[in-house]
């Protein structure tokens, strides 16, 4: 079910409400945990100068996975399609 724009809370189905709530709560938690992980890793890494390189490499891997694996899993197509509505 695709939802767009503002919706009346009392008229919204519980499944849709909680999925949108999770969509708003999860990204900040993921960013926080990523920063915490980088901080803890930097504290134990003998060469802190390599830390930014490792972070950039990890982000690059996530971007490649998002563009390929996740897109393919959702649409069964590697190229996103644009539809006129």
Residue 68: give the domain boundaries.
Answer: 46-79
Provide the pLDDT for residue 84.
54
Please give the Cα distance from 47 to 60 (Å, whole number).
Answer: 21
38 burial class (0-12, 13-18, 19+ CB within 10 angstroms)?
middle
Number of domains in the chain: 2
Q: Is residue 16 part of a domain?
A: yes
**Domain identity same for 39 and 52:** no
Per-residue pLDDT of the chain (85 residues; tens, 9 = 90+): 555 666 677 788 888 888 888 888 888 888 898 888 878 877 877 776 777 787 788 888 888 888 887 777 777 765 656 665 5
Provide the pLDDT for residue 1.
55
**Domain identity same for 50 and 37:** no
- Cα 43 to chain centroid distance, Å, stands at 26
Please give the Cα distance from 50 to 57 (Å, whole number).
Answer: 11
Q: Is residue 71 part of a domain?
A: yes
């Amino acid at each position: 079910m695709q939802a767009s724009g503002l919706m009346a809370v009392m008229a919204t189905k519980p499944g849709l409400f909680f999925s949108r709530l999770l969509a708003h709560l999860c990204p900040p938690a993921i960013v926080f945990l990523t920063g915490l992980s980088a901080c803890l890793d930097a504290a134990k890494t003998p060469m802190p100068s390599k830390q930014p390189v490792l972070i950039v490499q990890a982000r690059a891997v996530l971007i490649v996975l998002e563009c390929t694996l996740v897109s393919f899993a959702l649409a069964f197509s590697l190229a996103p399609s644009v539809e006129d509505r």
